[in-house]
Amino acid sequence: MKAKDVIIDKISWKESRNFFFHRLRRLITEQTFLNKIIQSDPKISISDARSILKSFFETETKSAWKSDHIVFNWFQTSEKDILNRIEREYLMPGQIQKINSILNNPADKVYVLKSVIESLPPEQIKELISKIQIQ
């Protein structure tokens, strides 16, 4: 288990149940965030995604990443913030890049844009129209 980074040091039998309870909760929750990061860009490795998540944690908390209990509590209290940051910094740029690559074919531009706009809810269509300034 030490070789797989599940444990860092020897754990006494008396403390093992508590340790593994917190460790498992943290790893399961962490995996959901890692999956979101990797979903945004499949080229990102699991270790790179973990580094990204760790950097989020360290900039917000200044706490030890190795503390399962502290990290899990941060995941729970900051879930929306973490997901918003993943979306803003990784998911949205990836989606924009995909759209730009689709729009590289001039014949498809109007069709693709029409399909995207039609898929939006009415309030977002109104917002889009108000932001577009055709010159």
**CB atoms near residue 57 (< 10 Å):** 20
Q: What's the rounded Cα separation, in Å, for the pair 89 and 91?
A: 6
Print pLDDT tens along the chain (135 aa).
666 666 667 778 888 898 889 999 999 999 999 999 998 888 889 999 999 999 999 988 888 888 899 999 999 999 999 999 998 888 888 777 777 777 777 777 777 778 888 888 888 888 888 888 664
Residue 122 belongs to what H/E stretch?
helix 122-131
Q: Where are the domains of the chain?
A: 1-102, 104-135
pLDDT of residue 134: 64
Q: What would you report as the CA-atom Rg of the chain, rounded to the nearest whole angstrom?
A: 21
Burial class, 78, CB count within 10 angstroms (exposed 0-12 / middle 13-18 / buried 19+): middle
pLDDT of residue 93: 80
